[in-house]
Amino acid sequence: MPLANALVRPNEASGPELTFPLDVLRCVSCGLVQLGQVVRPDVMFRSYPYSSSASAPLVAHFDGLAHDIRRWLSTPDALVVEIGSNDGVLLRPLQQSGLRVLGIEPADNLASAAKSSGLDTWNEFFGTDVAQRIVLDRGQASAVVGTNVLAHIDDLRAVLESLEILLEPRGVFVVEVPYLNDLIERVEYDTIYHEHLSYFSLAPLETLFGLAGMEVVDVQHLPVHGGSLRVVASRHGAHAQRPSVEAFRGFEQLKRLQDARTFQRFADDVQRSRHELVGLLSTSRQSGARIAAHGASAKGATLLNYCGIGPSTIEFIADTTRFKQGLLSPGSHIPIVPESAILEQRPDYTLLLAWNYAEDIVAKFDSYVRSGGRFIHPIPFARVLGSA
């Protein structure tokens, strides 16, 4: 599989493309699901086209998270450090509410976008050395936040060591991770790609934090990214554990996330999902329909490459992100164009590669749907939206 965000320049399309195995393994001892092969982070994250602010629903999500973080802080001007702060989509509302903020962001393009909009951002990978420098420069943090970043880091013990340095005694670590149970139940196989090294559920997270004398004190289930967990952890005894933690432990027992058969069923579902999507698209093409896609998402790269869908099926992928437009999708080499192409070209069908925002996107393209355009939702099994 190619790397999910390694978009290809049109003039380099005939050249070689980096590909890596994409095998998913499960630890029979702690239940952590993880990739078998780790791609060097600088290859994936030094220049990164995914800009969180390009998705309007995410901006609203991060406003909500900023509000939630505030409730864990005891001073109005506390220091909040965000790991993998992207273009500053969370730093912005935190800063606007009076908090002191610092973002750590390895992607040069994103860090400079955040800095130029007035958000203090260090352009580097997070680690113990960075944690030490932050403490020297700003003092310890009341909250460290990482949304969709823990799953991207190979050395989780180094994260724990960094937290030990950076967090003040009553400080909280707030993380959001895609939730393994949703991945399995909704057959979200496309969220498996090299950036996502771990596929978390609560149990292995509790094991992980326990290694560093920390504990999970709150857990919430959120719809974002196809279903995520927002987990709050702190030093043991620093905060009372909320009843949500015990409730989630029971939920995961019921879901049999430790049972190999759960994963065998998932593997069968993934193959069926591919079969049904490929069938729907090829029948539509044979009947002369024109098909495009919406959302040059990372998961779209897994979906297109695993299903073997290319430019002979999909004419273009429409996306709002300026870093992505003008490039080709990894492996499948479908041109990425501005969103306006959907209304200009009016394909008969538009495949939703960012199906996690299906409702918002369908509402945004109301006039396309009213004039007969149809969206295809690929997950868990392909279906045409709005048709009987």
284 three-class SS: helix
Number of H helices, E strands in the chain: 14, 16
Tokens of 9: 């320049």
First to last CA, the chain: 35
Give the position of tokens 């200009």.
Answer: 344
Q: Is residue 57 near ligand JHZ by the rule CB under 6 A?
A: yes
Stretch that binds ligand JHZ, among 29-37, 128-136, 158-166, 318-326 (CB under 6 A): 318-326
Segment 240 to 299, residues that bind ligand JHZ, using CB under 6 A: 295-299
What is the C-alpha separation between 260 and 118, in angstroms, rounded?
49
What is the C-alpha separation between 31 and 198, in angstroms, rounded?
11
One character per residue 295-314, x = contact with ligand JHZ (rule: CB under 6 A) = xxxxx---------------
Stretch that binds ligand JHZ, among 162-170, 205-213, 303-311, 356-364 (CB under 6 A): 356-364
**Least distance in angstroms from the C-beta of 194 to ligand JHZ:** 10
Stretch that binds ligand JHZ, among 21-29, 92-100, 200-208, 354-362 (CB under 6 A): 354-362
For residue 30, which amino acid is it? C
65 contacts: CB under 8 Å, gap ≥ 6: 90, 145, 147, 174, 176, 230
Stretch that binds ligand JHZ, among 47-55, 159-167, 246-254, 276-284 (CB under 6 A): 47-55
Segment 358 to 387, residues that bind ligand JHZ, using CB under 6 A: 360-361, 364
Q: Is residue 50 near ligand JHZ by the rule CB under 6 A?
A: yes
121 contacts: CB under 8 Å, gap ≥ 6: 85, 88, 91, 102, 103, 104, 105, 111, 114, 115
Number of residues that bind ligand JHZ (CB under 6 A): 25
What is the C-alpha separation between 242 and 232, in angstroms, rounded?
10
Tokens of 277: 């999507």
**Least distance in angstroms from the C-beta of 260 to ligand JHZ:** 26
Nearer to ligand JHZ among residue 54 and residue 291 (C-beta): 54
**Least distance in angstroms from the C-beta of 292 to ligand JHZ:** 12
**Least distance in angstroms from the C-beta of 58 to ligand JHZ:** 6
Q: Is residue 154 near ligand JHZ by the rule CB under 6 A?
A: no
Q: Is residue 351 near ligand JHZ by the rule CB under 6 A?
A: no
What is the C-alpha separation between 313 and 358, in angstroms, rounded?
21
Tokens of 32: 């952590």
Which residues here bind ligand JHZ, judged by CB under 6 A? 50, 54-57, 148, 178, 195, 225, 295-299, 319-321, 324, 339, 354, 356-357, 360-361, 364
